[in-house]
Amino acid sequence: MTLKNYESGEEVSENWDTVFKSLSAEPRRQLIVSLLDAGADQSVPLPESAAMPNLPLDPEELRVELYHIHLPMLAENDFITWETDPLVASRGPRFDELAVVFEALHSDAANIPDSLVIGCQRLEQERQGSAART
List the chain pLDDT tens, one digit each, 134 residues: 455 565 688 888 999 999 999 999 999 999 999 999 999 999 999 999 999 877 777 889 999 999 999 999 999 999 999 999 999 999 999 999 999 999 998 888 888 787 877 777 777 777 787 666 66
Q: Is 129 among the domain residues?
A: no
As a whole number of Å, the CA-based R_g of the chain is 16
**Domain interval for residue 16:** 2-94
As a whole number of angstroms, the distance between CA 134 and CA 132 comes to: 6
- Examine residue 32 and state whether it is found in any structural domain, yes or no: yes
Whether 85 is in a domain gets the answer: yes
Q: Is there a domain that residue 47 lies in?
A: yes
Q: Global pTM?
A: 0.84
Question: Which domain CATH number covers 90?
Answer: 1.10.10
